Every structure is written in structure tokens, then in C-alpha cells.
Chains A and B, each alone.
Chain A
Amino acid sequence: MPSEMTQGEQMMQPIIRRRGLLKAGAALALAPSAVRAQAKIAPPNIIKAGALVMSINPTLPPLQYVNDKGELQGMRVELANACARKLGLTPEYIRTEFATMIPGLAAKRWDMINTGIFFTEERSKLMYMVPYEQAAISFLAAKGNPLGLKTIDDLAGKRISVELGGIEEKRTREVADIIAKKGLKPVTVMTFNNFGEAFQALRAGQSDAATCIDATAMYQQQHSDFTRAISGVFPQTACFAFANKTLALAVVDALNELKKDGTYDKLLDQYGVLKIDSPTFAISGPGPA
């Protein structure tokens, strides 16, 4: 029986219907982002319109690392992404080593440092710091802890490898001072460009211990060939750091909202990370003069 359409047109019918479905689907997908696109903050308070540019050093699983597809993962990535969503901004990450982050913030290369930067008096005078996490320092040893390191004093006469520039380096040197004052054998502090290389030195037996924070040390113990020998040393708060006060206050609001809706608590509990003591978030310290 001859139909109204040719065979070719008949074949086209499902395709046209599918295209219609595709267009409807696209409209549905775009709709929420159209709502999200209302950024709560814009230049000059951020460097790039619609984006929250953050510096990160993704070498510390499970808090910030890169999976084998090269994608950023970790608790700090998830928390910062949630804050960016609350502000209507797209999170953008610049992967760099710690030593470049503070000067880069001043040079407006990024809006925010998201690498678990620890609160110190000196730093709080250079930028606006918002504490959101608590972490203590650990010392990793070779698998099985062959040297039997249990306390800080056991580190006397040992070689400790650590990343250059972070609080871990500062605390390692403080431990070296403590041991020197006690008159024990001096500690050798070896600085490397990043944690990966510091751990590699430990793996090769070129150092006796490597410094990092508790959560990273735990992860390394579970997934790698190291033992977390000493932990819980010098507990302190980790922060997001900003050069711009308006942005800092906006992120404080975002964090408070995340606390109210339970996202913050759930996320930190999931990763086993200590929350801050205070129930609300705020800028800590005076900020730049």
C-alpha cells in the first residue's frame, strides 16, 4: 500500500523524533545551570568572571590528589567545589607547588589557596584566612617502622625528608630545635620540591622519616609501603586563604550554609578529618594591612 511518505522520509521520522527529544533534554540540562549562572560575586573581587580560581597541590591523598585519569579528587576539592556552587561560580584549579602559592595570591594569579594551608600569625597578616579543618603532623617511617620511632625524641640523629615551604617544614625544623636544645644528636632536615619526592627519598632509604599531615600519613600507611610512626604532633587549623576580603566573607557565608544543611559535617566525617571547634566560620586574624 503506498503511504504518504517515501521510504527515505519514513526512515527520517524516528530521527526527527529523536532530535526533538535531544532538544528537550538539552533544555532540561541547561535550565539548572541557567539558575546557577547567577554569580554572587564578580570582578574586581575575583580575577575571572564566573569562576573561582584556586591554587592546589594535588599530591596528598585522600585530601587532594589526582586519580589515574588525571582528574582532581579529594575532600578539599569537594568542599571548595561546594562553596563555589553556593556562590554561583565555576571552580577552576591551578596545580602548583606550595612554595608558589602565597606569592601567587598576592600577584592575583588565583583567588583562593585551597591546599590546607595552616593558620599562623605571620600568614594571617598577609592574607584573609578562613579555618575549616583541623590537622596534626605525622612522621612516616619505612614499612614496619624498623627504627622503632615512637616519640619526637626518637628522631634524634635521624634524617627527615619534607616538602619545602609548608607548615610541615616549619614544624620539622621546630622538632630539630627541640631535640638540639635537649642535647640529643642533631636532626638532618632535607627539603624536597614536593611530598612525592620527599616520600620517594624515604622509600629509597635516603631518609629515615618523612613529615606530612595525619590524614595523608594514614592514607600512605594503607595504600603504600610506609608506616605512620608518630602522629598527632602540633595540631593546628587548616584554612582557605584569600587576598580579597569580599570574597573571603562570601566564602565564609557559603561555609556557614554548608554547615547548616549538613554537607560540611557529612563530608569531613566521610574522610575522617577533624572539624573546627567553632560551630560557625569566620576570618581569623587581622588580614593584610
Chain B
Amino acid sequence: MKVWNWEGFWSYFTNLYLLEGALWTIGLTVSTLVLGGLIGLLLAVMRLSRHKALSYGAQTYIWIFRGTPLLVQLIIIYTGLPQLGLVRFTVVQSAIIGLALNEAAYLSEILRGGILSVARGQTEAARAMGLSPFQIFRLVVLPQALRVIIPPLGNSVNGLLKTTSIASVISMEEVLRRGQILMQQKFQILEVFVVVAIIYLAMTTCWDFVQRRIEAYYGKAYGATADRQLARDDH
């Protein structure tokens, strides 16, 4: 077997089957973020609730879904549930549900951290002004929490783009699995893997760009040197 095959490399670089797989990876990531984000937000609020039942319920969920491997969760959702006669999800449904339920556990902790970072005085002042709990959360707490949430959340998105490849264990044909299938044709293993790595790098770089824009938007009120107290410069 030769050392490197440029012709093979370029052919895989422009391979539509492989690039289509990248679209599937992005689709899985976005769906997981939306669904997982909503569940995660719900869990974070439950976890911070005064009602013990809600708090413990959320803690149990987080404990189970963070404590077991994603691969096992996917296989249980995809083959375990139908085998027990409970419910049958398709490959795509199982992948999204499994990824979302798993990611929600991690996202809820990030969201909870961000919410806790907002000074209590803000909530108290808002309540004194007569805002409802929902309004307080939406207008006062969440916008300020977001600045703290964005960096670790961006980290999660970056990781999630690559974690979606685990869905290949239930036969999901995302970009990495498609690369593995292509490899079996001419056994140009290195060339295919390098192309797949470049595709992942392109996706994560796009996300980095988006994340920086989002961070700039939510950091507007804090100026260019966001972590310095502006009040000090005023005197």
C-alpha cells in the first residue's frame, strides 16, 4: 500500500456522499441543541426551584443522563425500547432523542451556573418593581446570565458537532460513518480520514466565528474590556 494518494484525496474531498453526511451532522447538532436546550432550561429552572420534588426530579435526571455513556443510551433507545415492546423510533428519531436527552443534562448545569451568576440584588430589585417571576426571568436574569453562559455553551456546541458521530453505532449515516463506508472501497484509509477531519474543522471553525459574534452582542453593555469595572474609570 502506497504512502499517500493525492488523486484519492481530491476525489474524497469533492465526494457528494461525504459532504451530504456533513449536512446530516449539522442537522443533528442543531436539532440536539434546540431540543436539548429547551429540556436543559426546564431542568435548570426545576433544579433551582424551591419545591423539593422538582429539584430532586431534575437532579435524578441529570445524574442518570450524565452518569451513563451516550453510546449505551442510544442503543437502549434504538433497540432496547422496541424489544421491550414500548415504542419504536426510527434511526434519525432515536439519534436526535438520544443526543438531546444526553446533552440536556450537561446544558442544564451550564444554564444553572449562568443563572446563579446574576446577583441576587437584581431579582430583588425587579420584584420590588412589581415584575412577575416570568418577566424577571425573561427580562432581567436571562439576558445577564447569557454573557456567562455563552463561552461554556459554545464549548458544548463544538463538542456536540463531533459527538454526533457516536450516532453511527445505531447505523446513522453522518459524515464519519460515510467516511468509514467509503474507506472499504479502495482502502485509502488515511486519505479519507484526513478529508473527514478537514470537514469537521470547517464546521467547528464556522461555529467559532458565530460564537464570537454572539459573545460580542451579549457583551456590548460591558465594553471592549468586559471584565474590568467601568465604574472605576468614571471617577
The CA-CA distance from A99 to B192 in the complex, in Å, is 14
User: Which residues 188-210 of A have a CB within 8 angstroms of B?
Assistant: 190-193, 197, 200-201, 203-206
User: Which residues does chain B contribute within 8 Å of A193, judged by CB atoms?
Assistant: 168-169
Chain B's interface size range is 20 to 34
Asked if A288 is at the interface of the complex by the 8 Å CB criterion, the answer is yes
Asked if A169 is at the interface of the complex by the 8 Å CB criterion, the answer is yes
Find out whether the CB atom of B171 lies under 8 angstroms from the CB atom of A192: yes
- From the candidates A126, A170, A190, A200, name the one contacting B91 in the complex (CB within 8 A): A190
Asked if A75 is at the interface of the complex by the 8 Å CB criterion, the answer is no
- From the candidates A99, A102, A200, name the one contacting B79 in the complex (CB within 8 A): A200
Asked if A22 is at the interface of the complex by the 8 Å CB criterion, the answer is no
Find out whether the CB atom of B79 lies under 8 angstroms from the CB atom of A165: no
State whether A190 and B171 are in contact (beta carbons under 8 Å apart), knowing that A164-B180, A206-B88 are contacts in the complex: yes
Contact with A along B166-201 (1 / 0, CB 8 A): 001111010001001101101101000000000000
Find out whether the CB atom of B79 lies under 8 angstroms from the CB atom of A201: yes
User: 4 closest Cβ contacts across the A-B interface?
Assistant: A204-B79, A190-B171, A204-B82, A204-B83
Find out whether the CB atom of A201 lies under 8 angstroms from the CB atom of B187: no
Find out whether the CB atom of A201 lies under 8 angstroms from the CB atom of B171: yes
User: Which residues 156-174 of B have a CB within 8 angstroms of A?
Assistant: 168-171, 173
Find out whether the CB atom of A99 lies under 8 angstroms from the CB atom of B80: no
Asked if A106 is at the interface of the complex by the 8 Å CB criterion, the answer is yes
State whether A126 and B1 are in contact (beta carbons under 8 Å apart), knowing that A102-B187, A164-B181 are contacts in the complex: yes
Find out whether the CB atom of B180 lies under 8 angstroms from the CB atom of A165: yes
- From the candidates A103, A164, A190, A203, name the one contacting B187 in the complex (CB within 8 A): A103
Contact with B along A83-122 (1 / 0, CB 8 A): 0000000000000000100110010000000000000001
In the complex, residue of chain A having the shortest beta-carbon distance to the beta carbon of B88? A205
The CA-CA distance from A205 to B84 in the complex, in Å, is 11
User: Which residues does chain A contribute within 8 Å of B186, judged by CB atoms?
Assistant: 122
Find out whether the CB atom of B171 lies under 8 angstroms from the CB atom of A191: yes
State whether A197 and B1 are in contact (beta carbons under 8 Å apart), knowing that A164-B181, A165-B184 are contacts in the complex: no
Asked if B12 is at the interface of the complex by the 8 Å CB criterion, the answer is no
In the complex, residue of chain B having the shortest beta-carbon distance to the beta carbon of A167? B184
State whether A204 and B169 are in contact (beta carbons under 8 Å apart), knowing that A165-B184, A191-B177, A288-B1 are contacts in the complex: no
Measured between C-beta atoms, what is the minimum distance from B176 to chain A in Å? 12
Find out whether the CB atom of A99 lies under 8 angstroms from the CB atom of B184: yes
User: Which residues does chain A contribute within 8 Å of B189, judged by CB atoms?
Assistant: 103
- From the candidates A164, A200, A288, name the one contacting B184 in the complex (CB within 8 A): A164
A-B contact pairs, 13 of them (CB 8 A): A103-B189, A122-B186, A161-B171, A169-B184, A190-B171, A191-B177, A192-B169, A192-B171, A200-B75, A201-B79, A203-B83, A204-B78, A204-B79
User: Which residues 116-172 of B have a CB within 8 angstroms of A?
Assistant: 168-171
In the complex, residue of chain B having the shortest beta-carbon distance to the beta carbon of A161? B171
Measured between C-beta atoms, what is the minimum distance from B235 to chain A in Å? 65
In the complex, residue of chain A having the shortest beta-carbon distance to the beta carbon of B169? A193
The CA-CA distance from A192 to B71 in the complex, in Å, is 13
Measured between C-beta atoms, what is the minimum distance from A156 to chain B in Å? 19
User: Which residues 201-227 of A have a CB within 8 angstroms of B?
Assistant: 201, 203-206
In the complex, residue of chain A having the shortest beta-carbon distance to the beta carbon of B187? A102
